[in-house]
């Protein structure tokens, strides 16, 4: 199951991604946490020391593409592979149970409470946008497009909400998107934009209130987002202490906040994986990107990369065994 935490700057995306990844790892299943935000803080929030970060995927796009394309005859070279190029027959697919492939072994490191961390590496506003051929976030899109994840296996992405993920289709690559919102008018503004995009593409979204100070804050969010409000996390002294550099583990978190993490996990676990939508939208966004810029950038007709016989999801794996 893949999940993204998105929201306004400073709302708590990184904090919640890290807490949720730690919590989910404590419950068993493999967890990969991916830092795909402009400012890269997820490693720190997972308790990793500076200098212990994995190799950044965004700086090794060619190596990643070279591996993923495998011997797919429809992809002529790594340089003809763009962030939306979907897998096809011959492509290499990734699994979360084994994680012995060069992407997981080469680009992730373990963190103290269990999650594996992958990072895009820092990027700037200039790296965002549909026409960006070398988009670092594109590494995450390629990773998710080639991933065969099942129930009880998790990828948690700390992501910038906005133009790039909408244009490329990255926002459609998740089983659930949690929009982190502080109880302010600014805090819910990103929600409206996201909700409208999400509704157009059948993408499930729920709001997680954060830094809540009392019933008035909950009532405000309820009033603004209605039933989309899943759960709220309180303003946390334990999180503040962690930010001040004190040692932190999940056991230090307030019980109400731990329960909220449980609610988030339960909600994710009740989502049905929709591989059909996933595959259909992968093709849809690839064609759109091909036409908008990628055909020109690569000098090829990238519509030809689409393998009409390829079925997204685990069916294909069991068939090929
Ligand atoms: N529930 C909470 N209680 C107390 N402090 C919190 C809580 N959630 C987040 N914070 C604090 O709020 C600040 C912003 O959080 P965080 O860095 O997670 O936000 P972000 O959305 O990832 O920000 P950015 O957009 O800069 O990436 C941090 O100092 C963090 O410790
Ligand atoms: Mg952040």
Residue 185: per-residue pLDDT? 92
Give the ligand whose atoms come closest to the C-alpha of residue 6: 1
Say what the pLDDT of residue 192 is: 86
User: Tokens for 116?
Assistant: 């594996």
Q: How far is CA 80 from CA 70, 168, 170, 303, in A?
A: 13, 17, 19, 11
Measure the CA–CA gap between 287 and 152, rounded to whole angstroms: 32
99 CA from centroid of ligand 1 (Å)? 30
Those residues with Cβ within 8 angstroms of residue 164's Cβ, 6 or more apart along the chain or in another chain = 127, 128, 129, 130, 132, 135, 137, 170
CB 127 within 8 A of CB 56: no
Q: Which residue has the higher pLDDT, 111 or 9?
A: 111
**pTM greater than 0.85 (yes/no):** yes
Interval between CA 245 and ligand 2 midpoint (Å): 17
Residue 63 makes CB contacts below 8 A (sequence gap 6+) with 106
How distant is the alpha carbon of residue 314 from its chain centre?
A: 20
Q: Do 156 and 17 form a contact (C-beta atoms < 8 A)?
A: yes
Instruction: Give 23-76 pLDDT, tens digit per residue.
Output: 999 999 899 999 998 889 999 999 998 889 999 999 999 999 999 999 999 999
Cα angle 140, 33, 80 (rounded to 5 degrees) comes to: 15
Write out residues with Cβ below 6 Å of ligand 1: 7, 9-15, 37, 39, 41, 210-211, 233, 235-236, 239-240, 243
Which residue's CA is minimally distant from atom 9 of ligand 1?
12
**Span from the CA of 267 to the centroid of ligand 1 (angstroms):** 22
* Tokens describing residue 225: 């987002």
State mean pLDDT over 255-264.
98
- pLDDT tens string 126-154: 665 544 555 788 999 999 999 999 999 99
How far apart are the C-alpha atoms of 207 and 227, rounded to whole Å?
Answer: 9
pLDDT tens by residue, 11-23: 999 999 999 999 9
Q: How far is 296 from 282, CA to CA, in rounded Å?
A: 20
Residues 106-119 have pLDDT tens digits of 999 999 999 999 99
């Amino acid at each position: 199951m893949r999940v993204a935490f998105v929201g306004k700057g400073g709302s708590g995306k990184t904090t919640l991604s890290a807490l949720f990844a730690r919590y989910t790892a404590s419950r068993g299943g493999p967890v990969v946490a991916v830092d795909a935000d402009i400012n890269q803080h997820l490693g720190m929030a997972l308790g990793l020391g500076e200098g212990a970060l994995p190799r950044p995927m965004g700086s090794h796009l060619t190596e990643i593409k070279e591996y993923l394309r495998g011997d797919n005859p429809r992809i002529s070279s790594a340089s003809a592979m763009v962030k939306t190029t979907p897998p096809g027959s011959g492509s290499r697919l990734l699994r979360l149970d084994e994680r012995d492939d060069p992407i997981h072994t080469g680009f992730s490191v373990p963190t103290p409470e269990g999650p594996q961390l992958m990072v895009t590496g820092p990027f700037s506003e200039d790296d965002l946008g549909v026409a960006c051929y070398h988009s670092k976030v594109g590494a995450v899109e390629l990773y998710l497009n080639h991933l065969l994840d099942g129930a009880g296996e998790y990828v948690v992405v700390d992501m910038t909400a906005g133009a790039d993920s909408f244009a490329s289709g990255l926002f459609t690559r998740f089983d659930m998107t949690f929009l982190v919102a502080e109880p302010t008018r600014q805090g819910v503004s990103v929600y409206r934009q996201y909700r409208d995009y999400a509704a157009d593409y059948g993408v499930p979204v729920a709001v997680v209130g954060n830094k809540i100070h009392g019933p008035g804050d909950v009532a405000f969010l309820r009033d603004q987002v209605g039933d989309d409000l899943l759960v709220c996390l309180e303003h946390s002294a334990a999180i503040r202490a962690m930010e001040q550099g004190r040692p932190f583990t999940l056991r230090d978190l307030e019980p109400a906040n731990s329960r909220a993490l449980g609610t988030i996990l339960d909600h994710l676990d009740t989502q049905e994986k929709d591989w059909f939508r996933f595959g259909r939208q992968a093709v849809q966004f690839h064609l759109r990107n091909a036409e908008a810029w990628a055909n020109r950038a690569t000098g090829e007709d990238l519509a030809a990369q689409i393998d009409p016989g390829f079925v997204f999801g685990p069916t294909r794996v069991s068939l090929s065994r």
